[in-house]
Amino acid sequence: MNNIKTNALILDGSREDDVEARVARESIMTELEKAGIKSSCYVLRDEVVAPCIGCFKCWTKTPGVCALNDVQRNIDADMAKSDMLVLITPVTFGGYSSNLKKGMDRLIPILLPFFKKINGETHHPIRRGKGWDVFGVGTVPEKDDGKEQLFKELLERNSMNMHANRKASCVVLKGSSETDVRNTIASELKKVIA
């Protein structure tokens, strides 16, 4: 299957004081550039993105376009042009931060409303023929195997709904050296872009 990528969308749901998340983001952008992949990056704490209101107008009135007119429309348009989705977040109760989730909740225009049985379970088909590969980075203040496991499983689950061919994730411990963060990112990102 053709796995050549040309564009990536990066959604950063980290807090301003999350140094490791910033290093991870910069490292991802560097690695993508080296691989010839263009990226659009949104640091969601700096963007005014209204929360999804569950109106489903992006499915029934303006298919593919969110009814709320803010920067998320640009994010969704960049998603449409991308082959890959990158998620950066503090691991929050084992899941994503509210900052990241506000952007993710409003990605649903990429899906069709229909229910389809895929691998024995009901899912939404996507609005275009090709899915998105997914790479996720979580930061944690201290080692917590349970939360890290849940974070990785959640990313797998998202990848299934993004109809991804490839996915990878890693968890970075706060206080890690910049070199360690960059090495971890470079090694894990290869699983998705190589």
Partner 1 sequence: MSGKALLVVGSPRTKSSNSHFIGKYLIEKIGERGWSVDEEFAYQAIKNQDVMTRILKKIDDSDLVILVFPLYVDSLPSQMIKFLENVNEQRKGKGGPQPRLVAICQSGFPESNHCDFAVRISQFFARDSGFDWAGGLSIGGGSAVHGVDLNELGGMARNLRKALELTAASLVNGGDVPVEAKELTNKGVLAPWMLRLIVNRSWKKQCKVNGVDIRAIFND
Under the rule (CB under 8 A), what is the footprint of partner 1?
A: 51-54, 59-65, 76-77, 80-81, 92-98, 101-102, 104-105, 107-110, 112-117, 121-123, 127-128, 146-147, 150, 153-154, 157-158, 161
Alpha helices in the chain (DSSP H): 19-34, 57-60, 72-81, 98-105, 145-161, 178-193
Cα(109)–Cα(111) distance, rounded to whole angstroms? Answer: 5
Identify residue 165 by its one-letter amino acid code.
N
Beta bridge partners of 7: 38
Nearer to partner 1, 123 or 191 (CB): 123
Nearer to partner 1, 44 or 185 (CB): 44
Rounded to a whole number of angstroms, the minimum distance from the CB of residue 82 to partner 1 is 10
Rounded to a whole number of angstroms, the minimum distance from the CB of residue 86 to partner 1 is 16
Nearer to partner 1, 127 or 180 (CB): 127
Cα(17)–Cα(30) distance, rounded to whole angstroms? Answer: 21
Rounded to a whole number of angstroms, the minimum distance from the CB of residue 46 to partner 1 is 16
Identify residue 4 by its one-letter amino acid code.
I
